Amino acid sequence: MKHTLPNLEYQYDALEPHIDKETMEIHHTKHHQAYVTKLNQALENQEAFKEKELEALMASLEELPQEVYWAVRNNGGGHYNHRLFWKFLSPQGGGKPTGKLLEAIEKTFGSFEAFQESFNKAATTRFGSGWAWLILNKNKELEVTSTPNQDNPLMDGNDILLGLDVWEHAYYLKYQNKRPDYIHAWWNVVNWDYVSQRYESFQ
């Protein structure tokens, strides 16, 4: 099975002015495509793993032969994370979630604003490259966390609800070194409908 670059559900300029067209196009066609290409190369001679679905592959990394472990972890993680990331964004996004997800956020964090503050801190303080996440942990509790590089919470058996790419390639053309400005803008395009669907599917 060859892994492939997914099509976006919106145009590259659809998230303007919050995320610019040039960043989206380069991020999708260059960075994400590179992860897909390198993942396929790493799995080329791995018959036991090349037919696995991406999610199953991420959940079984420790079974990989050592010679391809890091290539699959890094590039498979990059492919998986970005495949989700595009769905976490929407031109009709922003605002707050509703229903069961909002109730769970308010119960866990006290308020939606307190959740945002916690998420912002995780995204801002993630040193170097990585991701910030809202997850449903193994105890079925909401939790904000972050991971380095292209690691993700699925690798540790947690369910991902929302993720933000804080690698510089995700924002540098527009925001330069001002990561907090990028994070602030990103809230305006969060696809809460999709995040809520994920939350309910994990119940």
DSSP 32: I
Token pair listed for 141? 């509790």
- The reply, when asked if residue 181 is annotated as ligand binding, is no
Return the number of other C-beta atoms located less than 10 Å from residue 184's C-beta.
14
Contacts of residues 116-123 at CB distance under 8 Å and 24 or more positions apart, as own/partner, are 116/187, 118/144, 119/144, 119/164, 120/180, 120/183, 120/184, 122/146, 123/164, 123/166, 123/179, 123/183
DSSP 131: E
- The reply, when asked if residue 20 is annotated as ligand binding, is no
Helix (H, G, I), strand (E, B) or coil at 10: coil
**155: amino acid identity, one letter:** M
- The reply, when asked if residue 169 is annotated as ligand binding, is yes
Q: 20 near 118, Cβ under 8 Å? A: no
Torsion over CA of 157, 80, 150 and 24, rounded to 10 degrees?
-140
Exposed, middle or buried: residue 66 (CB in 10 Å: 0-12, 13-18, 19+)? exposed
Cα distance between residue 66 and residue 133, in whole Å = 28
The binding site comprises: 27, 82, 165, 169
Q: Which residues are annotated as a binding site for Mn(2+)?
A: 27, 82, 165, 169
